[in-house]
């Protein structure tokens, strides 16, 4: 993985040994490589450099302010799905004119916040949301720039929980109703139709779903033009997968070639919403092995990180590679890497070969830069770990470890 390598038997992030970081900040901890973050974003920037484009980072994957600020400094916009994410993006310095607002449940107050900020575009998910946005915009004396999210009914060939472009999905407007809804949108007060939006799913590892969905999008853009609606933006969403194990997903360059080759005759800019593919392989979760528990049927390696720190294995059955922070000689043993949470589903690795480790050793759960801290919780009243950013031979704590007092702030016993 770019940014992570062994020097001798010691795992390093860029030029800093992981063990050195953990001795300073404790375990567990999320650690990110600035080199990997920058490289992943730059691949998108280069792939679409020949076209008017906005790379709106899907900050749901990792919303740390320093990560946002770093990507914003490289030219990224933001794909936000809540008022809180809008606040974070603006706090990190991302320009409002590079922010798109998606999500099926926008409230009137969130709409007002986004209109006040002057965002690039709302990605509208339903007719009732469109009506609400029209009323809010009119009440403020503003015009809301809008793309309707069109559901192309394309199978993304990924986990069903992260498939968003099928007919049965809660997201978007069905393709067969899209034209009539666009014509209605164009007639509504306070609404300025500026784009088309789609997003078919997450962790896509094949190029065919992208190709099929984009073919439908460009065909629909031409239909809209024939009906007097010329859009300025095609928002193709995100969803490009990363390598967790043996996957070989397309590259941003592959996606760029497919998209740019299909734009003949369309005077449009492109918006992309990559998230996981920028931050996923740029981060790890480091955990300390506390105990080794042998039973008649299985060996359990009990660690200080669990499903509250990385829920993907429990939620999706997701695979994360496992690297020892310090390599030991000898053979590993098949077992489960489990956490301290009081749930049977609390595991990070299940029925796999665990590297040779002893209590007190550190393990790195790889590809944890996306949907790690972002989905972490205080379940079992466990403080969330710190986040650390490494740049060359230096590391910085970009979010401090939570304290017990942090967890109860805002509560009362009276």
Q: What is the pLDDT of residues 200-233, one digit of tens each?
A: 877 888 888 888 888 889 999 999 999 999 999 9
266 and 328, same domain (yes or no): no
Which residues, other chains included, contact 332 with Cβ-Cβ below 8 Å and sequence gap of 6+? Answer: 353, 354, 355, 356
- Structural domain for 90, as ranges: 34-278
Residue 413 inside a domain? The answer is: no
List, in sequence order, the alpha helices (H) in 151-280. 175-187, 208-226, 252-260, 276-279
- Percentage, residues of the chain above pLDDT 70: 95
Phi/psi at 60 (5° precision): -60, -25
What pLDDT is attached to residue 1?
A: 66
Point out the domain boundary residue: 229, 247, 278: 278
Residue 326: which CATH number? Answer: 2.40.37.10
Pick from 230, 236, 300: which is nearest to 265 by CA?
Answer: 230
227 and 363, same domain (yes or no): no
Cβ count within 10 A of residue 156: 26
Residue 414 inside a domain? The answer is: no
C-alpha–C-alpha distance, residues 122 and 132, integer Å: 12
Burial 162-179 (b: 16+ CB within 10 A, else e): bbbbbeebebbbebeebe
18 and 52, same domain (yes or no): no
Domain count, the chain: 2
C-alpha–C-alpha distance, residues 200 and 217, integer Å: 12
Point out the domain boundary residue: 233, 249, 278: 278
104 and 15, same domain (yes or no): no
48 and 60, same domain (yes or no): yes
Point out the domain boundary residue: 278, 309, 325: 278
HSE at residue 251, side-chain half, CA atoms within 13 A, is 11
| pLDDT at 317 > cutoff 50 | yes
3-state secondary structure of 376: coil
How high is the mean pLDDT of the chain? 93
What pLDDT is attached to residue 155?
A: 59
Average pLDDT over residues 285-307: 97
338 and 403, same domain (yes or no): yes
What pLDDT is attached to residue 37?
A: 98
pLDDT band at 162 (very low <50, low <70, confident <90, very high): very low
Q: Do 292 and 302 meet the contact criterion of CB atoms below 8 Å apart?
A: yes
Residue 188 inside a domain? The answer is: yes
pLDDT band at 163 (very low <50, low <70, confident <90, very high): very low
64 and 202, same domain (yes or no): yes
Q: Do 260 and 236 meet the contact criterion of CB atoms below 8 Å apart?
A: no
Q: Measure Cα distances from 414 to 75, 84, 116, 403, 408 in Å.
A: 48, 29, 38, 22, 13
- For residue range 262-279, what is the model confidence (pLDDT) as tens digits? 898 899 999 999 999 999
Annotated catalytic residues are 342
335 and 234, same domain (yes or no): no
C-alpha–C-alpha distance, residues 121 and 141, integer Å: 17
């Amino acid at each position: 993985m770019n940014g992570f390598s062994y020097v001798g038997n010691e795992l390093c992030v860029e030029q800093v040994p992981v063990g050195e970081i953990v001795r300073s900040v404790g375990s567990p901890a999320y650690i990110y490589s600035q080199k990997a973050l920058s490289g992943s974003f730059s691949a998108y920037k280069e792939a679409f450099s020949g076209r008017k484009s906005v790379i709106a980072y899907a900050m749901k994957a990792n919303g740390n302010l320093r990560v946002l600020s770093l990507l914003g400094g490289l030219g990224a916009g933001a794909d936000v799905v809540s008022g809180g994410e809008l606040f974070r993006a603006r706090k990190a310095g991302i320009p409002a004119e590079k922010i798109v607002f998606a999500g099926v449940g926008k409230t009137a107050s969130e709409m007002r916040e986004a209109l006040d900020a002057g965002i690039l575009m709302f990605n509208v998910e339903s007719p009732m949301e469109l009506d609400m946005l029209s009323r809010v915009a009119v009440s403020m004396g503003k015009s809301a720039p809008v793309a309707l999210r069109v559901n192309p009914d394309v199978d993304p060939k990924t986990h069903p929980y992260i498939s968003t472009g099928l007919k049965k999905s809660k997201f978007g407007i069905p393709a067969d109703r899209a034209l009539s809804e666009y014509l209605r949108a164009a007639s509504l007060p306070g609404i300025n139709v500026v784009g088309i939006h789609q997003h078919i799913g997450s962790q896509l590892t094949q190029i065919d779903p992208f190709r099929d969905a984009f073919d439908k999008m460009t065909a629909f853009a031409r239909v809209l033009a024939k009906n007097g609606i010329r859009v300025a933006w095609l928002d193709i969403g995100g969803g490009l997968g990363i390598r967790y194990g043996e996957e070989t997903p397309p590259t941003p360059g592959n996606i760029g070639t497919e998209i740019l080759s299909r734009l003949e005759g369309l005077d449009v800019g492109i918006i992309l919403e990559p998230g996981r593919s920028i931050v996923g392989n740029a981060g790890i979760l480091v955990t300390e092995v506390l105990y080794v528990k042998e039973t008649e049927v299985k060996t359990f390696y009990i660690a200080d990180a669990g499903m509250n720190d990385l829920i993907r294995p429990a939620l999706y059955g997701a695979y994360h590679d496992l690297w020892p922070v310090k390599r030991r000689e000898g053979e590993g043993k098949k077992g489960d890497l489990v956490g301290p949470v009081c749930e049977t589903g609390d595991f990070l690795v299940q029925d796999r070969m665990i590297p040779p480790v002893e209590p007190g050793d550190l393990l790195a759960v790889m590809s944890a830069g996306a949907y790690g801290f972002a989905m972490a919780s205080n379940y079992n009243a466990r403080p969330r770990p710190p986040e650390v950013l490494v740049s060359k031979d230096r590391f910085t704590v970009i979010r401090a470890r939570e304290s017990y007092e942090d967890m109860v702030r805002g509560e009362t016993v009276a």
